[in-house]
Amino acid sequence: MQNAIYLASNSPRRRELLRQIGVRFDVLLFRGGARADHDVDETPHPDEAPEAYVQRVALAKAEGGMQRVLWRHLPQRPVLAADTTLEVDGQIIGKPNSAEHASEILRALSGRAHLVHTAIALTDAQRTEHCLNTNRVRFRTLSETDIRRYIATGEPMDKAGAYGIQGRAAMFVEHIEGSYTGIMGLPLFDTAALLERFGLAP
């Protein structure tokens, strides 16, 4: 049976979440590091609001993914993309670039609430739609030992905000308001609704 969409994401968590609701997909990979694809620029613009940033990046990933479908002469199917960022005091918090950076982020999250924004975008080359999912997460106060032990697991290094709620950092979370799957990186309610608008209901 033919898969329904392409997922323009390297995230194993997003793959797991799509499988959870029965969506058939192929992964459309982007290059990272020194050979990164320059048409998907994840650098925040000056004074860019976190909500605007995350939606811009998700749209760029979806549209860039569709360009790759066309360039590579792949079977044409809709492309789904997502992006997640944290907001603390109006500032964009992305993935840490070092263990020390991860420590700084976790100290900033300790004992207070932050926002997790996840934007999703879907394009079929004729039209593109997107939506934004915002959630509030409150952490308990973290000790330096908590932070050091968590960073030693390696878990924070590929995650926005230096933590994954579905992993060991769950023990830091006192309270959430919103979508658990949105905090993970793919809000399933919104994703299913977006797919349905394209005639792709799971």
CATH of the domain at 44: 3.90.950.10
pTM of model > 0.85: yes
The amino acid occupying position 147 is: I
Please report whether residue 202 resides in a domain: no
Which positions are catalytic?
83
pLDDT in tens, 182-198: 999 999 999 999 999 99
Number of domains in the chain: 1
* pLDDT over threshold 80, residue 34: no
Tell me what pLDDT residue 52 has.
97
11 lies in which domain range?
5-197
pLDDT in tens, 67-77: 999 999 999 99
Tell me what pLDDT residue 33 has.
46
CA-to-CA distance for 193 and 202, rounded, in angstroms?
9
Structure tokens at 13: 């968590």
Structure tokens at 200: 């792709």
